[in-house]
Structure 1
Amino acid sequence: MLAAMPPTPPPPPEPGEARIRDRGDACPGALRLHPADDGRLARLRLPGGRLTVRQIEVLALVAETLGDGRISITSRGNAELRGLGDGCGAELAGLLAGAGLLPSPTHERVRNIVASPASGLDGLGYADVQLWARALDTALCAEPRAASLSGRFLFLLDDGRGDVAGLGGDVSLVAGEGGTVLLWLGARVFRLAADDAVRAALTAALAFLDAAETAGNGAWRPRELPEGHVPDWAGALARAGIPAEPVPVPPLPESPPPAPGPLGEHALHVLAPLGRLTAAQLRALPPAGEIRLTPWRGAVVTTDPARLPELESYGLITRPDAPGAGVTACTGRPGCAKSLADVRADALAAPPGPLPVHFSGCARRCGHPYGAWTGVLATGDDTYLVDGAPTPRTSLTAAVAAARALPTHTR
């Protein structure tokens, strides 16, 4: 008997036709918990992925006492807690607020800021955009209108190396030479002074809200606005007193994520197996200072690279050729009712390869990477599509090994 195929998602709007959003964004947060088959889920926005030692301890404690003992790292470098009980919301909020992880209850879901994780640590890049991330977070939380942004609206801050510029941001800042920055707003690009970068990013987000209100289609992101409702980016920047020069759209800077291992002389990069850390693994990361969770489901740690063998002993991925490097998966069964398979169990057997590979339990493909990647999609308990090719579970390892050598998915 043929395996049941996943439901076909609705077709995207035709070119020039805007998506109609007839409800508010239902993205989970730290206060809005999402019901799942394995309990409730909380998503904590971490601008720049940053966690202090104190916050790490609180997050590990929360995972152990209120959740399933693990912390998931999202493709935006945020943290998720799963397996939460129905009545834990007030206790969870109190613990997070006490650790500085919930600075604004009204803005907690809009603090989506991805910044180059190694910025300021390895001598690369034109600016320390981690400092911009903190300043932008403060500015967002201080602006009442910013609370109306969707939980999916994304700010990208790239220090010029090109590691995060291509991750699909709505407002992107790319640092350049001589104290300049390029502000990317879809098909419009402006050059401005780096000192104005944070103000310009917030101004652009508010200009989108103006356009979305006028359009009336409930757009969550600029790409969903109908024709004729492009935000007045230039006018908004001018009214804010920010000198901004429109420039022809250049190629986006692009570089691969840092490989697991040392980052300069004072930091290192490790990956979490399938994007999930145990509380013990999280606690093992920093002897002092901070860590930065990454969009590649790992962490940049400010520590002596000589600690790599110690961290490997905790089951963390510290080498690019280690088992599990570049392998991610959605929640799958039993945690997600929509999943058609226990994709996390099957992903553990994924062979190494140069391309990232993502296992998805249904056609939504939650949490897939950007750029070139190999897609493994469950169509039933024992069948998959590997980059679109029907594959029985018994042949999955060989099919994934072959597919990881040939990039077919880009976004």
Structure 2
Amino acid sequence: MSSALRPSACPGLLRIVPALDGGICRIKLDGGSISSVQAEAVAGAAERFASGAIEATNRANLQIRGIGRAQTALIDSLLAVGLGPRTAAGDDVRNLMLSPSAGIDRQSVFDTRPLAEQILASVQSHERFHDLSAKFAVQLDGGESLAMLEHPHDLWLSAFERDGTLRLAFGLAGCPTDRPAGSVALGDGHALVVAVLALFLELARPEQTRMRHLLTDHPVEDIRVRLAECVPIQAVADWQRIPGSNALHIGAHPQAEADFVYVGAVPPLGRLDPAMLRGAAQLAHEFGDASLRFTPWQSVLLPNVRIENAAHVIRRLQRLGLMCEADQALSRLIACTGSNGCGKGLADTKGDALQLAALLQQQGHVPNVHLSGCSRSCAAAHTAPFTLLAVAPGHYDLYFRDAAQPGFGALHARNLTIEAVAALLDARSRSSLDA
């Protein structure tokens, strides 16, 4: 890997970024998937060269935190098991998100993985694409019932069937539930992605690093016309992507192949220790296909488990400290690193989230809540139903999601303690049940 890494504030596998609790290494996983052998290597690297803290991210990747001076040894141990990019400069642009159940989902229209492999090969191998921002991201949706459809992407593609033919709807700077800019034949999916990336790099000014920035100068229709010069594009008048359940990443769920399920488990607040990751990898080796799939919900799936083994796998995961039931309050909470590990964090979001989860569990309510230590919202790429934005240690402003308002939504109350937040959410839940 001779290519030099460009400067960036985003961590990567080959670029370890400092934080209050030590260095951060981000390991990008193709389609969120990692083999048992690779997972064992991550656990070992976190144990030997860092604090042992491993995070599942909201883009289905992994991070190792608390890295000390042995950065080269850590990187080498991960490269040795094939967790690196094809080229050093290609690490930043491996931002392609799939459904965690790609290829095994009962409702999928097609298996996205071969096309994803083509796209990833192109963005890593073509030097011109290395100029893309480390945050520039693409989503490829195969119509799966388990799919994160709320994370905005610079380009999204979503499969649908029309008159017996598979096509890919696509959109810019949004989500698959948005109105598409158009559609292409399934066989033109790779060419469309290449055309979009090339056109973006041609049109964008240096400060325009994301598609939403470009659209302020170039309307979607103008870009669509330019793309149609490279790829045949059709209008999409009467199609819209319908979301599935947001709880399908927790517990055992049937796969397309009879007698097999995937088992989803949530590490508390997205954080694993080496024993958890190693134990899950061992279970995947014993009862699955020797792979794990990480999800945009900061959880992990064990695919291809025989249905008769599901209950045993769940019990073993729970003994490791992972959650496999959707009615656990802690499984519905998201929290960033907070002031213990980040200089921008104004509160100990992880500790406060544990306190809030205990209070909500006592009250019998399990809302989806996001705790953010600052306005950057590193832990959540989407807007949660309820967001707590830290203003001081142990104190938060509370926002309710509102489609008419940007960011976290509508500000509901200021400077609340965790106890006050729990009481307010409890009262809101009770009033909605009584309505």
Work out whether the TM-score is over 0.5.
yes
Q: How does 1:3-402 map to 2 (within 5 A)?
A: 25-85=8-68, 87-103=69-85, 104-161=87-144, 163-177=147-161, 178-186=165-173, 189-212=181-204, 216-225=205-214, 227-230=216-219, 233-234=223-224, 237-240=227-230, 242-248=231-237, 250-257=239-246, 258-264=248-254, 265-285=260-280, 286-287=284-285, 288-302=289-303, 303-304=305-306, 305-306=310-311, 307-349=313-355, 350=357, 351-352=360-361, 353-387=365-399, 388=411, 389-390=413-414, 391-402=416-427
Question: 1:343-375 CA deviation, whole Å, 9 max, x = no partner?
Answer: 101101222545321111222232125254211
Q: Tell me by how many angstroms 1:255 deviates.
A: 2.3
State the distance in 1 between where 2:429 and 2:90 align.
39
State the distance in 1 between where 2:429 and 2:332 align.
10
3-state SS of the aligned residue for 1:174? Answer: strand
State the distance in 1 between where 2:384 and 2:215 align.
29
Q: Tell me by how many angstroms 1:196 deviates.
A: 2.1
3-state SS of the aligned residue for 2:74? Answer: helix
Question: 1:250-306 CA deviation, whole Å, 9 max, x = no partner?
Answer: 544322331411121331111111001111111222224311110000012112423
State the distance in 1 between where 2:388 and 2:217 align.
39
Does the aligned pair in 1 maintain the 2:293–2:300 contact within 8 Å?
Answer: yes
3-state SS of the aligned residue for 2:212? Answer: helix
3-state SS of the aligned residue for 1:68? Answer: coil
User: What's the TM-score once normalised by structure 1's chain length?
Assistant: 0.85
Output the amino acid matched with 1:80.
Answer: Q
Output the amino acid matched with 1:397.
Answer: A
State the distance in 2 between where 1:63 and 1:403 align.
41
State the distance in 1 between where 2:84 and 2:394 align.
42
Name whichever of 161-170 and 62-71 sits farther off. Answer: 161-170
Q: Tell me by how many angstroms 1:134 deviates.
A: 2.5
State the distance in 1 between where 2:270 and 2:418 align.
22
Does the aligned pair in 2 maintain the 1:122–1:263 contact within 8 Å?
Answer: no
Does the aligned pair in 1 maintain the 2:370–2:384 contact within 8 Å?
Answer: no
Question: 1:39-73 CA deviation, whole Å, 9 max, x = no partner?
Answer: 01111221311101121111111111111112101
State the distance in 2 between where 1:97 and 1:164 align.
29
Does the aligned pair in 1 maintain the 2:53–2:66 contact within 8 Å?
Answer: no
In structure 2, list runs of 5 or more residues that go unmatched. Answer: 1-5, 174-178, 255-259, 400-410
State the distance in 1 between where 2:215 and 2:422 align.
44
Q: Tell me by how many angstroms 1:336 deviates.
A: 1.0
Does the aligned pair in 2 maintain the 1:114–1:164 contact within 8 Å?
Answer: no
Structure with more contact order per residue of length (Cα contacts < 8 Å, sep ≥ 6)? 1
Distance change >3 Å, CA 370–CA 188, structure 1 → 2: same
3-state SS of the aligned residue for 2:90? Answer: coil
Does the aligned pair in 2 maintain the 1:96–1:102 contact within 8 Å?
Answer: yes
Q: Tell me by how many angstroms 1:334 deviates.
A: 1.5
State the distance in 2 between where 1:206 and 1:99 align.
32
State the distance in 1 between where 2:129 and 2:152 align.
20
Name whichever of 363-372 and 107-116 sits farther off. Answer: 363-372
Q: Tell me by how many angstroms 1:109 deviates.
A: 1.2
Distance change >3 Å, CA 24–CA 35, structure 1 → 2: closer
State the distance in 2 between where 1:300 and 1:393 align.
31
Distance change >3 Å, CA 405–CA 76, structure 1 → 2: farther
In structure 1, list runs of 5 or more residues that go unmatched. Answer: 1-22
3-state SS of the aligned residue for 1:325? Answer: helix
Does the aligned pair in 1 maintain the 2:99–2:148 contact within 8 Å?
Answer: yes
State the distance in 1 between where 2:14 and 2:427 align.
43
User: What's the TM-score once normalised by structure 2's chain length?
Assistant: 0.81
Distance change >3 Å, CA 102–CA 259, structure 1 → 2: closer
Distance change >3 Å, CA 255–CA 40, structure 1 → 2: same
Name whichever of 54-63 and 373-382 sits farther off. Answer: 373-382
State the distance in 1 between where 2:130 and 2:218 align.
21
3-state SS of the aligned residue for 2:88? Answer: coil
Q: Tell me by how many angstroms 1:191 deviates.
A: 1.5
Distance change >3 Å, CA 172–CA 226, structure 1 → 2: closer
Distance change >3 Å, CA 126–CA 405, structure 1 → 2: farther
Does the aligned pair in 1 maintain the 2:50–2:67 contact within 8 Å?
Answer: yes
State the distance in 1 between where 2:188 and 2:52 align.
42
State the distance in 2 between where 1:158 and 1:226 align.
23
Q: Tell me by how many angstroms 1:342 deviates.
A: 1.2
Question: 1:57-97 CA deviation, whole Å, 9 max, x = no partner?
Answer: 11111111111112101111111111011x33322222222
3-state SS of the aligned residue for 2:379? Answer: coil
3-state SS of the aligned residue for 1:54? Answer: helix
RMSD: 2.5
